[in-house]
Amino acid sequence: MRVGRVGLSALALPLAVLLLSACTPVQPWVKPYEREHLADPIMSFNANPIQSSYLVHVFEVREGGRGATGSVGGGCGCN
Amino acid sequence: MGWTRGIPARTLTATLFALAAVSRAAVLPDDRADLDWHEWQGGGVTVDGPGVLVRKKVDDSLSLSASYSVDMISSASVDVLSTASPYKEKHTEGTVSADYLHGNTIYTAGFIEGHESDYIAKTGFLSISESMFGDLTTINFGYSRGWDRVGENLHNPGLPTTTDWLGDADHRNWSAGLSQVLTRNLLLGVNFETGESDGYLANPYRSARYVGPDGLVHTEAQAYPGTRTGNAGSAQLKYYLPWHAALDGSYRLYHDTWGILAHTLGLGYTQPVLSDWTLNANVRYYRQNAATFYADLFPYEDSQNFIARDRELAQFNDLTFGFGASWLFHPSWPHWIEKGTLNLTYDRMHIAYGDFHNYAVGGMPMGVPLYAYGADITQIFISFWY
Question: Domain segments of chain B: what residues?
Answer: 18-27+100-385
- Other CB atoms within 10 A of residue B84 CB: 16
Asked if B6 has any chain A CB less than 8 Å from its own CB, the reply is: yes
The pLDDT of residue B23 is above 70: no
State the Cα–Cα distance between residues B300 and B323, nearest whole angstrom. Answer: 46
Q: Which amino acid makes up residue B190? A: V
Q: Taking CA atoms, what residue in A is nearest to B20?
A: A46
The pLDDT of residue B371 is above 70: yes
Whole-number percent of chain B with pLDDT over 70: 92
Q: Name the 3-class secondary structure at B196.
A: strand
Per-residue pLDDT reduced to its tens digit, B203-241: 888 899 999 999 999 999 999 999 999 999 999 999 999
- Give the mean model confidence (pLDDT) for residues B154-172: 89
Closest CA to B301 of B220, B357, B202: B220
State the Cα–Cα distance between residues A17 and B36, nearest whole angstrom. Answer: 56
Per-residue pLDDT reduced to its tens digit, B323-348: 999 999 999 989 999 999 999 999 99
Contact B308, B280 (CB under 8 A): no
Contact B193, B173 (CB under 8 A): yes
Asked if B45 has any chain A CB less than 8 Å from its own CB, the reply is: no
Measured between alpha carbons, how far is residue B233 from residues B43, B236, B285 in Å?
A: 29, 10, 16
Beta-carbon separation of B144 and A46 below 8 A = no
| Helix count and strand count (H, E) for chain A | 2, 1
pLDDT score recorded for residue B302? 94
User: Rounded to 5 degrees, what are φ and ψ at B13?
Assistant: -100, 100
State the Cα–Cα distance between residues B128 and B99, nearest whole angstrom. Answer: 9
Binding-face residues of B in 314-333 toward A, CB within 8 A: 318, 324
The pLDDT of residue B39 is above 60: yes
**Could you tell me which residue, B36 or B7, shows the higher pLDDT?**
B36
pLDDT band at B160 (very low <50, low <70, confident <90, very high): confident
**Could you tell me which residue, B128 or B367, shows the higher pLDDT?**
B128
H helices within chain B, ranges in order?
Answer: 18-23, 78-83
**Could you tell me which residue, B26 or B317, shows the higher pLDDT?**
B317
Per-residue pLDDT reduced to its tens digit, B78-106: 777 776 667 788 999 999 999 999 999 99
pLDDT score recorded for residue B16? 40
Lowest mean pLDDT of B14-28, B176-190, B193-207, B310-324, name the range: B14-28
Beta-carbon separation of A72 and B13 below 8 A = no
Ordered DSSP codes for B136-187: TEEEEEEEEEEEEEEEEEE--TTS--EEEEEEEEEEEEEEEEEEEEEETTEE
- CATH assignment of B18-27+100-385, given 2.40.30, 1.10.287, 2.60.40, 2.40.160? 2.40.160
Residues in chain B closer than 8 A to A38 (CB atoms): 181, 184-185, 187, 240
Q: Taking CA atoms, what residue in B is nearest to A74?
A: B123
Per-residue pLDDT reduced to its tens digit, B253-294: 999 999 999 999 999 999 999 989 999 999 999 999 999 999
Cβ-nearest to A63 among B114, B204, B262: B262
Average pLDDT, chain B: 90
Binding-face residues of A in 4-63 toward B, CB within 8 A: 26-30, 32, 34-38, 40-46, 48-63
Q: Which amino acid makes up residue B339? A: K
pLDDT band at B21 (very low <50, low <70, confident <90, very high): very low
DSSP A62: T
Q: Taking CA atoms, what residue in A is nearest to B311?
A: A62
Asked if B205 has any chain A CB less than 8 Å from its own CB, the reply is: yes
pLDDT score recorded for residue B359? 76
Closest CA to B328 of B267, B384, B262, B257: B384
* pTM recorded for the entire structure: 0.87
Whole-number percent of chain B with pLDDT over 90: 78
